[in-house]
Structure 1
């Protein structure tokens, strides 16, 4: 399971969710797998991996993307007994590519030296405060959710029924592009703004992005009112 759903719309499970999930899985003899491809390596703020926020230790963890700063690297780690249970041979055509491995090692060094966990937490709080302000102003922003520098805004057609707003998302994508700001769309209906900037983003850059997003929201709101 993803600790925070990525393409699914940055959905954050409640406290205790993964503890209960792991208990159920293990009661049937299964293993709990944590997918940290998007939430890993400081993205959620304060922790290296998203699952740590739920104080649960997975049996297997898969990771990629942030592990190497953009270079193609993926990894799977597991408990010793789980790894030992695999008796067959494994094969990977490009496994251990020296350029990717060197890039990964360098990226991990920078993550530790720059303390990206703390940076993501601090800048994430700044980003979240700005998004909450926008949500209070524009009623077609149905919810703001996320952790650290993994924040999402769910756009709706109606603030009471919470009907998904993919058309609103399309308008906002066009408006933000005009403002020089690139955002992503996610969620089952393509109506959730996904914001996941560089973990090295600074305070001024977050402020600038929020200002551009605000101007884009004003344009969308004016279009809906006309």
Structure 2
């Protein structure tokens, strides 16, 4: 019998425990070793196939190891791998030119980096440079990165690791509350913003937002929210930074999620899907604002030839395959299916929200079994049955559906059928659990 080239899940887990920091965790009680990917599928060390409905947290929007993209990555890798921005190369200027064609409004200047955290850090720096102000406004339960400044504007407590974060950040209520309508929650958030601006607007450089909060639980505001926010910010000369790290490049049914709200931000940050798994990120702005970032700077790996060539291939694939339109159509199909499951299990699913292929289903528990525990149960069962889904939310009780945008209607129907069986088990567990006296 031929020996497997893979060391196996137990050995991988043991090495992680021995050599990784203790902050590194994984979703599953019995986590598979993922060894191969092909479009919407991944495979473990035993050859078992899983349909991926999480896409590495919105990363592989064009599918795992998409041959149309990887061929161009390999071609560039064999031709020129690295030079840094202190030399002239063509792929990164071609990418910057290409981005201007898809970015909202007059955003046209791009600075390339390696990750979403770095893109948001750069966007925040740019806002300070342009306005000459230091402070920021952010939404409760937002997530913007793990550098010191991006962690400072992160509102999710579980991701605020550093005890010595920047104190020039003011948080306001996000435009969501389970006991309010979206319109009421939006009005509450806008009033909170107005109070902050009236008190210290002349010290605020920018407000940073996710148009749809991903890790915060798939929170999509009322349609008018960002228009009201932008109007208020402009009155005080405060910039709007649009964090599209998870939402960008077709996932929500538009190239960028902010387009659903009819607003053009001052600065936009992007990563994840732009490289389809290859590290590439950027923050972009207008000519006027970009002129403020004029002191010497560089990014050693940002916009390197391989990343830039890959991103160009990604943009070609998104356009050729009409992925935003596909996400809108099939995402609507998935959302309707989740809403039908909510109707079948009203005591278990409290809400279904989001748009396109950025959807969440919030679970509820009771005093005997928590919603977070039920969520973990569902993830484990779905994995055992061949489907990978995610979880997020303030209480880690929201099932997250962020698949590669290449999934098919058949994939969706198959997943919903299996999810129905798994939710039936979870519902029975919830009903059988008797809260302790």
Q: Which bracket does the TM-score occupy, shorter chain normalised?
A: over 0.9
| Gap regions ≥5 residues in structure 2 | 1-208, 433-437
1:143 aligns with 2:351: yes
User: What secondary structure sits across from 2:387 in the alignment?
Assistant: coil
Aligned residues: 221
Residues 28-86 of structure 1, C-alpha deviations (whole Å, 9 max, x = no match): 211111111111111001x2110000000101000011112221110111011110122
1:134 to 341, 351, 361: 341
1:101 aligns with 2:277: no
Q: Which residue of 1 aligns with 2:103?
A: none
Q: Which residue of 2 aligns with 1:209?
A: 415
Q: Which residue of 1 aligns with 2:270?
A: 63
Q: So what's the TM-score if we normalise by structure 1?
A: 0.93
Matches of 1:179 and 1:218, distance apart in 2: 14
| Gap regions ≥5 residues in structure 1 | 159-163
1:194 to 378, 400, 413: 400
Q: Which residue of 2 aligns with 1:161?
A: none
Q: Which residue of 2 aligns with 1:39?
A: 247
Q: So what's the TM-score if we normalise by structure 2?
A: 0.49
Residues 114-161 of structure 1, C-alpha deviations (whole Å, 9 max, x = no match): 000110011101100110011001121000000000000011126xxx
Matches of 2:289 and 2:411, distance apart in 1: 43
Q: Which moved more, 1:76-85 or 1:51-60?
A: 76-85
Structure 1 stretches of 4+ with a deviation exceeding 4 A read none
Matches of 1:216 and 1:97, distance apart in 2: 44
Matches of 1:89 and 1:214, distance apart in 2: 56
Q: What is the deviation of 1:223? A: 2.2
Which structure's CA Rg is the greater one?
A: 2
Matches of 1:27 and 1:165, distance apart in 2: 42
2:323 to 91, 111, 116: 116
Q: What is the deviation of 1:222? A: 2.4
Residues 92-132 of structure 1, C-alpha deviations (whole Å, 9 max, x = no match): 12112211111111111000000001100111011001100
Q: What is the deviation of 1:167? A: 2.1
1:172 to 369, 374, 378: 378
Matches of 1:89 and 1:29, distance apart in 2: 26
